[in-house]
């Protein structure tokens, strides 16, 4: 049996990654894999409490980054690593690339500090594959405007999301073997065709 993999989904709010993630996990299950779907911030009881704070309470960018990584430490130790060890695949809606994109790009936090946190929290541990759902910000914003309630991040200006998008693309340049770009401006059916090819190849 092939080794269980850790796969993450990333992209700006409104890219549609959550819908595609559910479909992707189901497609893996149909191919006989045991799959755990999880998310960040969140994924553990403590992580979900921190998510509620992070999505609703105003705070300094550095506090935001520290809480994201604190939740992540718990997530890795309590959920991700134990699942992988028992042969369960893990598909997470966001992981550390989101901290580089949102706190680094969006909030302008020093990337070297984020790298220190990354090294502290998960040195030598990275997703096997990251799918980056990329699309123009105007399209993402139109999709988001259908939501009735918006959280603290979703209420940010277009310029914030432009910076988040660019930081994600930078991250991809830095990790081209791990991060795969998905054109999220296509119709959901087109995206599914791409995802299907990925499911077959992994």
**Which residues sit at the interface with ligand TYD, rule CB under 6 A?**
13, 18, 39-41, 68, 93-94, 98-99, 102-103, 151, 153
SS (H, E, C) 121-158: HHCCCCCCEEEEEECCHHHHHHHHCCCCCCCCCCCCCH
Closest CB to ligand TYD among residues 1, 99: 99
Closest CB to ligand TYD among residues 2, 76: 76
- Dist CA 128 CA 188 (whole Å): 24
Rounded to the nearest whole angstrom, what is the least distance from the CB of residue 113 to ligand TYD in the complex? 13
CB-CB contact of 6 with 90 (8 Å) = yes
**What's the length of the chain?**
202
Rounded to the nearest whole angstrom, what is the least distance from the CB of residue 13 to ligand TYD in the complex? 5
Closest CB to ligand TYD among residues 86, 152: 152
Residue 172 CB partners (closer than 8 Å, separation 6+) = 132, 179, 181
Rounded to the nearest whole angstrom, what is the least distance from the CB of residue 137 to ligand TYD in the complex? 13
Closest CB to ligand TYD among residues 93, 134: 93
């Amino acid at each position: 049996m092939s080794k269980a993999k850790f796969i993450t989904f990333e992209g700006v709010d409104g890219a549609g990654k959550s819908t595609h993630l559910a479909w992707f996990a189901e497609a893996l299950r149909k191919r006989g894999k045991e799959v755990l779907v999880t998310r960040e911030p969140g994924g553990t009881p403590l992580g979900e409490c921190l998510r509620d704070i992070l999505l609703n309470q105003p705070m300094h960018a550095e506090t935001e980054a520290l809480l994201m990584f604190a939740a992540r430490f718990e997530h890795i130790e309590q959920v991700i690593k134990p699942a992988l060890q028992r042969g369960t695949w893990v598909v997470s809606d966001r992981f550390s690339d989101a901290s580089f994109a949102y706190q680094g790009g969006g909030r302008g936090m020093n990337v070297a500090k984020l790298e220190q946190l990354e090294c502290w929290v998960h040195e030598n541990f990275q997703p096997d594959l990251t799918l980056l759902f990329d699309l123009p910000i105007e399209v993402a914003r139109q999709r988001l405007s259908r939501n009735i309630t918006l959280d603290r991040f979703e209420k940010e200006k277009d310029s914030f999301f432009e910076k988040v998008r660019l930081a994600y693309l930078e991250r991809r340049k830095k990790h081209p073997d791990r991060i795969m770009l998905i054109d999220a401006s296509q119709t959901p059916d087109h995206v599914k065709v791409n995802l299907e090819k990925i499911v077959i190849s992994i």
